[in-house]
Structure 1
Amino acid sequence: EAMSDGLILNDMETGLVLEANPAAAAMHGYGHQKFIGLHPTTFTHPDSQRLFPGYIQTAQSGGIFQAEAVHLRRDGTPFHVEVRGVAFIYQQRPCLLSVIRDVSARVQNEQQLAQQMAARIREQASQATLQERQRLAQNLHDAVNQSLFSASLIAEVLPRLWARDPEEAQQSLEDLRRLTRGAMAEMRGLLAELHPLVLTDSDLGDLLRQLGDALTGRTNIPVEVNLMGKGSLPTDVQVAFYRVCQEALNNIAKHAWADRVEIDLRYDTNAAELHIGDNGRGFDPTHVPAGHYGLSMMHERAKTIGAELTVASQPGQGAEIVIRWNNHLKEELSMNGGRQEP
């Protein structure tokens, strides 16, 4: 009688409660005598009554039944229980002997923990969204605003400059065209970041030209884009090619000190190659300074699509990044455990 767990003895045939300890009656809100003779459907939530057939079948086969269920107190309040039961002979009749443990506190704690985790995930997602917005806003400020500000200054002085020196004014017009074209390319790039379908639904050659125009607008480095052959790539391959080119051009803008960049995209049957080269100061690929994560990111991009990425550079000799993809190479890399040359 001092047990906190409830003990219930049910008739195997009728299901009626034949005997119970006071703890079982009390946890369901009944006096002991009132509890005797009840059918389990009286104190079992409808959603948990589906467990009855499995309980009986397990007990009849000599097994131990164990499950979590929802029971009902006399006033209709639901509470969570853990049920363990076996077949039992009582007064020469087959019965079900069940141990009932109230686990409401544990379930409530688990639910609270799940709610806290969900709230934390939502907060982290919101923070990530905010950081992404801040990054895009910073890109907008650093690239587009700078280009538009420079363009507005040129446009303001252009009439006076034209009257004084038409040849110099013509050069300023070219600068104005470069700046506005670069700003438009930057805006398209930001649009692609906000709407990823732009990267998959647009022509890859057009996307690479936009990246080149954006670099020229920011740095005044001319970028030549060459397309050889025609074709289309799987979505993940196109996105990876775009990201590799984007990262390579960012590295050129930051570190290369180049005055010429060339991008070559070559299509073949079920294959493609992308070359990004510059005539900058170059570097030793085996000794990349700490904090320069661009190359490792490009290698990871290539690995995800089963492509091969190579880096050719020497100090003072510029650099070339090449990513090669084809179905056969993807299969070979998969069979090789994804290993590829650095």
Structure 2
Amino acid sequence: MYKLRMFNMKWQLLSYFFVASLITGSSIYIALEYFREYFAFWEFKMWLFVLILAVCLTVGYIATKRWQRKVDELHLAMLEISKGNFSSRIDMEPVEPFLYLYDAFNTMASAVEQRVQLLQRLGEAEAIREQELTESAVMEERRRLARDLHDTVSQELFAIHMSASSLPKILERNPAAAGKVMDQLIQMSHHAQKQMRGLISQLRPIELNDMTLHEALEKWFPEYCRAHELQGQLDVAVHAEMSEAIEHQLFLIVQEGMANVVKHASAREVRLSIHEREHQFILQLQDNGQGFERRDNSTSHGLSTMQERAQKLGGEVEIMSKLGEGTRVRVKIPRFSEHGESERRERGIEG
């Protein structure tokens, strides 16, 4: 690659100037040598000037077009990096005037890609640790719920059983008092049913467990919308395999986003979509609620946690909202291809 490293920008530019000068000098020499008698005519001088100018402009156009193409390649590669395509590289020829610039860009892009991948892996590892801690907390919560069941519902059911067992004897001895016992039974059963519903709602899992993100959302999203009187629309179109940590973080982001809709948006409709691009996973949550001004975008809206979760995976969160026009939250997570990474390693070894 570096065999002709001296053939850089200045030498190529000088070569174009040399060609233009050589053509100009040759044209003047030929005109003076073979057409000297025509120099008396101004038309000849004008056409000679036009010819030399056209040739020089042609050489300049060829030079600038080639250099513009090189600059455009660099510009397009930079745009790809800015869009999240961290695998973007510029192919370099052995004789390349932009050799040093392209090589510096490719080195920078490789470093950025490696750092974002490392950031994503660290975020995944941290997410897994958080999940383990959450599972431990869930076990403790289940033990608490078991105690609550024993101290509340179990005692209520025991009291209902005792009252129901004594009811036949009360009917024999004092039929008038049986009505009060029946009312107590109804109240206690209603209270026990209410307590049981509360405990069951706490026991409902909000984690992925062994389901994929798509399966968990298909089960959880409609139930959540019905419980909070929302008209929900779910659109998931992801065919690439996601890591467990990414699915877990995206599911938590969806839950936090939906909680924000319920608490702050006063919305009637909400649309959740997850799809993939060549180098990104895109999650979008949009509602038709009251919205908010950008200056009000603070932790009070519960958005900072979503930002932190996305940043753990090397991603970002875009929040678009306007008063009276709802809110749209878009999450972008980089998607790395193992096949592309192995190819880049092979090219690096060959280079």
TM-score by length of 1: 0.39
Query: Does 1 or 2 have the higher relative contact order (CA < 8 Å, sep 6+)?
Result: 2
Q: Choose between structure 1 and 2: higher strand proportion.
A: 1
Normalised TM-score (structure 2): 0.38
